[in-house]
């Protein structure tokens, strides 16, 4: 009875709009970690994000069910660079597939192509996104807010979280629209020369901010001094003449070297740094 009422016009997929892609991205943005499971990771969140898109494209409940199953396979990536881009690409691929299904053409965009596109991009884009968002942008925003926090202003604690959330929401929407517009070629655009230049610039800016933080907020000085031939020598004064902030820079460089060799083990770094500085202060060097 239901199939008799489904005329060809009613089964035709609707054209997706920018609003549809933006809605899918916003749904993924808010649901990313909510439906996190061991075997599927972020796949339920992506499926839920694409649900309005799939309902516009597939009018037959059977085709909708098959589309949901396609996207409930293992999926894991970074939120904005990976999630935004792949959400847009999936919307683009599903729209092309829906046209093939409706016109009863040979299915060139099959399940394997859709999943292989996701699995091939999710790791590469996650690496870029983690390096830029978590490794650079986040700390730039924290550095901006530190003076406010030191002054006792609550905005110093709130600004990094609010600004970072809005940044990810905006950049993710840009990548989602780019993914929908360019399809699978969007990944090439993201890792292209233009984006590499932006990434390099952000990395340099991040290094500058780390240098500013080290000189402004890492306080390490030497209390060591001695007399030689009736003249007092203060080690800190000598170090300041060589290069102001040399000891804070040495501490930051030491921690960075530890992370590069031993991995990002913050607890061990804090314990080790506390012991080393405590011993040096106890024997009168610091």
Residues 71 and 131 placed together within one structural domain of the fold: yes
Residues 35 and 68 placed together within one structural domain of the fold: yes
Q: Is the pLDDT of residue 91 over 80?
A: yes
Last residue of one domain, picked from the residues 182, 210, 238: 210
Percent above pLDDT 90 for the chain: 27
Residue 116: the pLDDT is 86
Task: Establish if 224 belongs to a structural domain.
Answer: yes
Residues 56 and 134 placed together within one structural domain of the fold: yes
- Domains of the chain: total: 2
Residues 143 and 278 placed together within one structural domain of the fold: no
Q: Is the pLDDT of residue 6 over 70?
A: no
In angstroms, the CA 89 to CA 121 distance is 10
Output the CA–CA distances (angstroms, integers) from residue 239 to 223, 225, 230, 249, 257, in the order listed: 12, 12, 21, 12, 22
Which pLDDT band holds residue 31 (cuts at 50, 70, 90)?
Answer: very high
3 state DSSP class of 231: strand
Quick one: which of 19, 25, 15, 20 has its CA closest to 175? Answer: 25
Last residue of one domain, picked from the residues 210, 244, 267: 210
Q: Is the pLDDT of residue 241 over 90?
A: no
Residues 234 and 117 placed together within one structural domain of the fold: no
220 or 153, which is more confident? 153
pTM recorded for the entire structure? 0.70
Residues 203 and 239 placed together within one structural domain of the fold: no
Residues 266 and 136 placed together within one structural domain of the fold: no
208 or 43, which is more confident? 43
Tokens for 199?
């990434």
Residues 231 and 187 placed together within one structural domain of the fold: no
Residues 106 and 175 placed together within one structural domain of the fold: yes
In angstroms, the CA 164 to CA 147 distance is 18
β pairing state of 225-228 and 231-234:
antiparallel
Q: Is the pLDDT of residue 76 over 70?
A: yes
Q: Are 43 and 28 in contact (CB under 8 A)?
A: no
211 or 199, which is more confident? 211
Q: What is the mean pLDDT of the chain?
A: 80
In angstroms, the CA 181 to CA 187 distance is 12
Which pLDDT tens digit goes with each residue over 180-209? Answer: 988 756 555 555 555 566 556 656 666 666
Residues 152 and 272 placed together within one structural domain of the fold: no
Task: Establish if 132 belongs to a structural domain.
Answer: yes
Which pLDDT tens digit goes with each residue over 117-165? Answer: 888 888 888 888 887 888 788 888 888 888 888 888 889 889 999 999 9
Residue 5: the pLDDT is 47
Last residue of one domain, picked from the residues 210, 233, 256: 210
Q: Is the pLDDT of residue 2 over 50?
A: no
Residue 204: the pLDDT is 65
Helix (H) / strand (E) containing 227: strand 225-228
Task: Establish if 38 belongs to a structural domain.
Answer: yes
Task: Establish if 75 belongs to a structural domain.
Answer: yes
3 state DSSP class of 7: coil
Tokens for 223?
């209390």
Phi, psi (rounded to 5 degrees) for 227: -105, 135
Which pLDDT band holds residue 1 (cuts at 50, 70, 90)?
Answer: very low
Task: Establish if 215 belongs to a structural domain.
Answer: no
Residue 4: the pLDDT is 45
- Taking only Cα atoms into account, the Rg of the chain, rounded to an integer number of angstroms, comes to 27
Residues 112 and 133 placed together within one structural domain of the fold: yes
Residues 202 and 224 placed together within one structural domain of the fold: no
* Range of the structural domain that residue 79 is part of: 2-210
Which pLDDT tens digit goes with each residue over 252-286? Answer: 777 777 777 777 677 777 787 788 777 877 777 77
């Amino acid at each position: 009875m239901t199939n008799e009422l489904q005329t060809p016009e009613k089964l035709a997929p609707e054209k997706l709009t920018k609003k549809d892609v933006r809605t899918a991205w916003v749904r993924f943005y808010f649901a990313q970690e909510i439906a996190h499971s061991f075997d599927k990771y972020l796949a339920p969140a992506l499926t839920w994000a694409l649900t309005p898109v799939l309902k516009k494209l597939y009018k037959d409940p059977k085709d909708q069910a098959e589309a949901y199953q396609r996207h409930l396979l293992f999926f894991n990536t970074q939120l904005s660079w990976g999630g935004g881009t792949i959400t847009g690409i999936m919307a683009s691929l599903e729209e092309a597939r829906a046209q093939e299904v409706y016109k009863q053409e040979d299915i060139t965009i099959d399940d394997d192509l859709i999943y292989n596109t996701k699995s091939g991009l999710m790791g590469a884009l996650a690496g870029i996104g983690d390096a830029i968002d978590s490794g650079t942008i986040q700390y730039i925003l924290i550095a901006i807010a530190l003076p406010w926090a030191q002054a006792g202003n609550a905005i110093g604690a709130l600004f990094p979280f609010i600004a970072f959330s809005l940044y990810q929401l905006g950049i993710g929407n840009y990548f989602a629209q780019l993914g929908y517009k360019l399809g699978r070629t969007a990944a090439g655009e993201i890792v292209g020369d233009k984006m590499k230049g932006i990434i390099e610039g952000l990395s340099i800016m991040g290094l500058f901010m780390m240098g500013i933080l080290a000189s402004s907020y890492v306080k390490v000085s030497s209390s060591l001094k001695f007399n030689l031939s009736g003249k007092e020598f203060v080690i800190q004064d000598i170090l300041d003449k060589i290069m102001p902030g040399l000891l804070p820079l040495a501490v930051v460089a030491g921690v960075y070297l530890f992370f590069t060799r031993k991995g990002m083990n913050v607890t061990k770094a804090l314990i080790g740094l506390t012991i080393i500085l405590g011993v040096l202060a106890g024997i009168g060097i610091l």
